[in-house]
Structure 1
């Protein structure tokens, strides 16, 4: 089939990035909405069609990179890559539909359809990269799309300097890691392919470090700045695309590892634990969903880091299910927040709150959700490795996370009415995501049956097998710990005001540490001091300061006297 090429989804997204800004200038807003929905639906449809024509590879024979590496740029697609591409396609379609549902003529320019498609294209390009050279180009493509969306689409307001600075740091650090990996492979004469070819351990470690940076782990954590104004549907793509790309890269590198234990395990465990410890506390004082989402993501990325560090048999399954659960749940939280702005008829309001409850339940690992599946597999792996304290740390972090999430999303915001109009497109979007999340949580093997995991990896077990596959004693301990963690979180939610009153200073200190502003201020101060010293040295050698020449002359005389 000629259309069954990995290049087609990227072409559709790039076409949308070019056509939609032009259409917005020349056509009515309704036409732009319909065209955006058609393009997003086409992207998802053709991505699903690729399941029948994979594995598939396409090379760009016209464009040849520098002769240093001597490979052609190309895309490669298999079931595992299509899982994450479909995830981007589904959330992009939902974002476009919900964007259209709230679009009003006077606010037309605030909805960057073109930038949304450009960002999705960058993420898909990274996922489909067939080799490390293409991966480097796609990494830069994705970061430039993020930079464009963050810097220029602020309705005439100045973009956040801190946000742009952190995105640039992420871009430069990631490119440096991949270039180091390329040079290592070039020196060894090894293949640059990412198509089920075992890679050297150092290359795997560098690529996994870049993937964790893409996911936003410390110290590459990028909290959405206060002065960055994006609509909630735009934020869905802003968060989901890097998460899907980073999660895929992390899982793919584990499948290409030639050894069971990778170097730097202790550092990864420390950073993952640090993310779990610090991420819940800013949520206790944060009321804005735009800001809170960064810390919710950071908390879930902590589990991904632990799964990648231990390199257990189920690590790839843990990462895959965790990324799916996180992206779908986060999208549901954004959509639920949009529906809570206006009163709705009671049945519809009850349904949207149920979808939001499902999202929160998945994030905190409640049984019968996909989040519970990934959490349980991680706990089993940690238990087998004798890392019980990390399980306890995770359970406590989960309790501190549940309390602010319950206050933020589960408390009723406005009473339901019988006269208020509903938003069918928004309700349909929430229903679709909730159904997918619910089905995958009730029957996890469906993920493997639909998209498949890389060969020689254990598939996701069904819930009864998940719990009863181990010794009864350990399963009982893990299940009791999970339920007690949820109960403790609920009690914290009920007594939240008392906790904040008595431990407010401690919580604020942990919030300040988690925000990492102190680190970046220290880096700015250090860079400024170094620049000042270099400037003074430059002035010294240029002869701008007579004192400098006197000191230089005295130094030379002293050296001559000592040498004689």
Structure 2
């Protein structure tokens, strides 16, 4: 509707239809989760192909939770944002991303997963190509390369699994050997974990899709691998290093947008690392990390600069900031505690120390942002209109001539928005973050009615834990991390950053490495092209022709 030629006539209905569609999708997922597990099948291709004849969809606990996170985060952003800040096609693309993303998550066989994966790639390609700046174009090309490699790995794994195990349901597959390694590569490339190129230059929607779909495949693969994830020996030091470096980048950064990108990569490293340490506890930590990214960091990135200064909007924003930094009374702190406990129980004492340092560094930007939020005036003040969605919005144009000035007490250029819808969009993620961190057992009761049970940390309640040994050490470390982060934020914030700090930040971001590699590849390509031109069209053209004639003569004479 928003993309039709007569879309101006439907402009007043575009936003309501978009929000109603997401709300209905969320309700359908909840209703489907309340029932028993069913498999829906759609004919795909005919008899000449013995495998992959049907597209199959089903829901289990993991796919349901990831689908709820994807749709719930999109609905939160849609309710909270200012009307008119997105391009006309943005709502259509968002709904297409939601549909294809859920199709990936509820796929019951590998054929369905591959097909939905490709359509999701097309939607992400549209998003990247509509980011007009030169730097965004460079990052779009890098992300396109990663997504293409991820799709190739997934297709190759699908072919091998179909040949070895037939068209078996995904939860019953045995991901061993080369197929398991290819699935692992597909998940890691889709997640885009640092230091892969383009990891810090993605928009909020791309981050959400990467976490929801890539994280789902990673956790699904962990659940299928009874003997542990392939490559676990090298993943622990690599992901532990990523955890520390992204925390350091977040502490060194003074700008909100890159800081949120660093925090996403930091929690992604936690998502990747936790199932490698231990299967049972690792899955719950990984799922909790996904919740924190989808409900805390993604809404902050989507609405950056566009939040209200009223206390009713500042409180949920404060909760999301605190949870993103692993602060108290939120699911962020509980996730950190569960990870530290898992590392201690599994004997990774070195990783325990690295995680404490990484968590302390990642808490620094949260403390800085908390100080800014508390310092804001309570009343609304005149401020520029928020920028459009970095993923989907066009450049803002000037105000029409002769337009009326804003009313007293209103933002100078910000359009009015429904207060109730915005409050709902801002508060329900914050409430989930608080409930998941303070009384996680409450989430177990509604979760028990869904397919499976909520597997977030401490779903059994605080009373079920013997607070001695690993749980006590992890709790003390998680609280100590917050104190260290507060001291670092207090003593390093403000002022002009030093040259050493800027140098360290630029070096760790590694954009210089990828730019140098791209220039080297461009030079090699140009050299080969010039050499080929000389051979085929230049002074050596006659010799090239004679060589081909000689080859043809030898072929015809049979020599």
Pick one of 348, 353, 358 that aligns with 1:392.
353
Pick one of 287, 290, 314 that aligns with 1:323.
290
Q: 1:213 to 1:296 in 2, by over 3 A?
A: same
After superposition, residues 236-315 of structure 1 pair within 5 angstroms as 236-259=204-227, 261-284=228-251, 286-315=253-282
Pick one of 486, 495, 498 that aligns with 2:482.
486
Contact 2:325/2:365 (8 A) holds in 1: no
Structure 2, unaligned stretches of length 5 or more?
Answer: 381-407, 411-416, 548-559
Task: Give the TM-score of the pair, scaled to structure 2.
Answer: 0.81
Contact 1:339/1:352 (8 A) holds in 2: no
Q: 1:375 to 1:79 in 2, by over 3 A?
A: same
Post-superposition offset of 1:362? 2.0
| Aligned-partner Cα distance in 2 for 1:204–1:440 | 32
Pick one of 526, 529, 547 that aligns with 1:532.
526
Q: Does structure 1 residue 436 correspond to structure 2 residue 432?
A: yes
Contact 1:403/1:496 (8 A) holds in 2: no
Contact 2:36/2:451 (8 A) holds in 1: no
Contact 1:399/1:486 (8 A) holds in 2: yes
Q: Does structure 1 residue 196 correspond to structure 2 residue 172?
A: yes
Determine the structure 1 residue equivalent to 2:93.
115
Structure 1, unaligned stretches of length 5 or more?
Answer: 1-18, 229-234, 554-564
Determine the structure 2 residue equivalent to 1:72.
54
Contact 1:81/1:248 (8 A) holds in 2: yes
**CA shift digits 1:430-473 (9 cap, x unpaired):** 11111122122223345554446997997743486489436x24
Determine the structure 2 residue equivalent to 1:427.
423
Determine the structure 1 residue equivalent to 2:321.
360
Give the SS at the match of 2:329: coil
**CA shift digits 1:98-136 (9 cap, x unpaired):** 23xx224xx664671111112212211111111222222
Contact 1:317/1:459 (8 A) holds in 2: yes
Post-superposition offset of 1:371? 2.0
Q: 1:463 to 1:368 in 2, by over 3 A?
A: farther
Q: Does structure 1 residue 135 correspond to structure 2 residue 131?
A: no
| Aligned-partner Cα distance in 2 for 1:513–1:287 | 16
Give the SS at the match of 2:483: helix
Contact 2:2/2:89 (8 A) holds in 1: no
Q: Does structure 1 residue 51 correspond to structure 2 residue 19?
A: no
RMSD over aligned Cα atoms: 3.5
| Aligned-partner Cα distance in 2 for 1:65–1:135 | 21
Q: Using CA pairs below 8 Å that are at least 6 residues apart, which structure has the higher relative contact order?
A: 2
Q: Does structure 1 residue 103 correspond to structure 2 residue 99?
A: no
Post-superposition offset of 1:547? 12
**CA shift digits 1:31-83 (9 cap, x unpaired):** 22222222121111112111133412222214459838444222222233111
Determine the structure 1 residue equivalent to 2:557.
none
Give the SS at the match of 1:119: helix
- The count of residues paired between Structure 1 and Structure 2 equals 510
Q: 1:324 to 1:224 in 2, by over 3 A?
A: same
Determine the structure 2 residue equivalent to 1:381.
342
Contact 1:37/1:97 (8 A) holds in 2: yes
Task: Give the TM-score of the pair, scaled to structure 1.
Answer: 0.80
